[in-house]
Amino acid sequence: VLRLERTVTCATGKNESPTTRGCFTISDRGESFYNDRLQSGAKYWVRFNGSYLFHSVALNKDGTVKDPVLGMRRSDGCVRMSMEDIKWFYDNIPQGTAVRVN
């Protein structure tokens, strides 16, 4: 049984790099990352399907916000959230939790 815990405004993958959709299970997580190839990083990443992550808005290498826009297709496939929402997600949604990405 699915239960709605919180409604969150997100940014998903652009048309050329769409977010994978469906039902998945939360696996590993980490506090931050930076991808030199994409010239972008994020805080509080939570893996849901291979290289697809829930994470904060996009950050520059120095940790400043690179792209704060939510509610649109903006990412390279991951699901971006505000710092407040992703911190809540990171702290409250444990490994093994089923999630549905629409």
Q: Could you read off the pLDDT of 57-90 as tens digits, one per residue?
A: 999 999 999 999 999 999 999 999 999 999 999 9
Band (pLDDT 50/70/90 cuts) for residue 5 is confident
Query: What pLDDT score was predicted for residue 54?
Result: 98
**Is 10 part of the annotated catalytic residue set?**
no
Task: Give the mean model confidence (pLDDT) for residues 41-52.
Answer: 97
User: Which residue among the candidates 40, 49, 55, 86 is catalytic per the annotation?
Assistant: 55
Query: What pLDDT score was predicted for residue 10?
Result: 97
User: pTM (2 decimals)?
Assistant: 0.93
User: Which residue among the candidates 53, 58, 59, 78 is catalytic per the annotation?
Assistant: 78
User: Average pLDDT over the chain, rounded to whole?
Assistant: 95
**Is 78 part of the annotated catalytic residue set?**
yes
Alpha-carbon span 86 to 34, nearest angstrom:
16
Query: What pLDDT score was predicted for residue 79?
Result: 98
